[in-house]
Structure 1
């Protein structure tokens, strides 16, 4: 059941990423049709924006996330147990030892960052370290290392960049509707024109939904990978219960980075009984139910 879930999650993620590509290309073609009367000019503009924006986001994402969260590098002498746990888990994870950061915050939570295992980093709040026992802390650390091992941070960084690109393209398309008159020799079919208009207006929302779906799917995959590494699903189940029971928000969490945390950094989101299209994480019940089947 464990390996079956891992494979299913990987297939779902691939399909979602392909859908993301379709949205980006579709937005470019829709803008092109509305503004220039063809299907390729806007696609070229979209490609240029993507080639500029994606590398900038890709290279700076990790440092930005750590800086925004207020994370500081953990001292190995002060956090000896934490270092030992992470070091031991790196063996079954088959990844290099990541840098360990501490966030001075009473809300129990954690996240991982790093576009590849060689540049991985994991951050734990002081609230998490104070409230979890060793078994539960090991499960959380395994979950975060799973994100690094599975290249989830790279994937989420790319999808965040794609959301921004879609938003920029949609903004260009909206401005064209009000500022640019199409020449009379550019004939457009009314039905196709309406479809293109709707695509421009709705593509940012669609891109956001796909990003959140990818985020939720990667949480399931990280849960399954963590159990594969620790051979213990109860530790992660208990850790998730304690994290979700907290009424505290992570003080320096941002909406743009909320999907990186092991559980939503906002208490009102953690309390939801069901997963919605706007959720960055699956509901606690669905995660524990899946963990119980492993």
Structure 2
């Protein structure tokens, strides 16, 4: 049994946290309790409990740590390339204007190291977050034996007001994106679109 908390926010939402089932907690907003009936609330809580059962918080933490490590390595690599890359910087400085081809190669390498590496890692992290949401939806149906509960909850939440106090760094923990409700999912979304989630649930 996870610990249960109520968030004083009128936006309907919920989230789960904890590194494992023995150290877990589920929180729901006052808005969710006011908007949902018993069955819909059961579907949402089934989704959050599935996150705990699937160790999704631990997976997300590892993903964040990997992004940080990749960013650090990319920063180190960019500095290494700048000072010790093709050609010798000190020799180039002796030449008037330096070697333009070498400078272009350095700049391109730095762009790859600084921008593309961390960006690719972040996109992988967000894709993982979206896939874990689908898995938690399936887990909720497994627990409740009724996909319509979750479908009805998602439909109610889709166009509701965003949360006032949510932190963007923890957006992936919530049942539904606490920001930008009703927007289409993109590569930079922490959650799949509501329409896609409902479509998968209808096929169960």
Whether TM-score is above 0.5 comes out as: yes
1:255 correspondence with 2:159: no
Tell me the residue number matched to 1:165: 69
Match of 2:11 among 102, 107, 121: 107
In 2: Cα distance, 1:217 partner to 1:240 partner? 17
Q: How does 1:1-294 map to 2 (within 5 A)?
A: 97-178=1-82, 180-181=83-84, 197-201=110-114, 202-246=116-160, 248-266=161-179, 268=180, 270-272=181-183, 274-294=184-204
SS in 2 for 1:263: coil
Q: Which has the higher helix share?
A: 1
1:241 CA drift (Å): 1.0
**Do the aligned partners of residues 175 and 195 (structure 1) sit closer, same or farther apart at CA in structure 2, a change above 3 Å counting?**
closer
Higher Cα Rg, which structure? 2
In 2: Cα distance, 1:232 partner to 1:288 partner? 13
SS in 2 for 1:102: strand
Q: How many residues end up aligned between the 2 structures?
A: 188
Judge conservation of contact 2:4–2:25 (CA < 8 Å) in 1: yes
5+ residue gaps, structure 1, are 1-96, 185-189
In 2: Cα distance, 1:115 partner to 1:199 partner? 34
In 2: Cα distance, 1:251 partner to 1:177 partner? 44
TM-score, scaled relative to structure 2: 0.85
In 1: Cα distance, 2:8 partner to 2:120 partner? 35
Deviation per residue, 1:184-242 (Å, 9 max, x gap) = 5xxxxx8x978854541311111110011000000000000100110000110011111
Deviation per residue, 1:137-175 (Å, 9 max, x gap) = 000000000000011111011101111222222223334
TM-score, scaled relative to structure 1: 0.60
RMSD between aligned residues: 2.2
1:120 CA drift (Å): 1.0
Tell me the residue number matched to 1:47: none
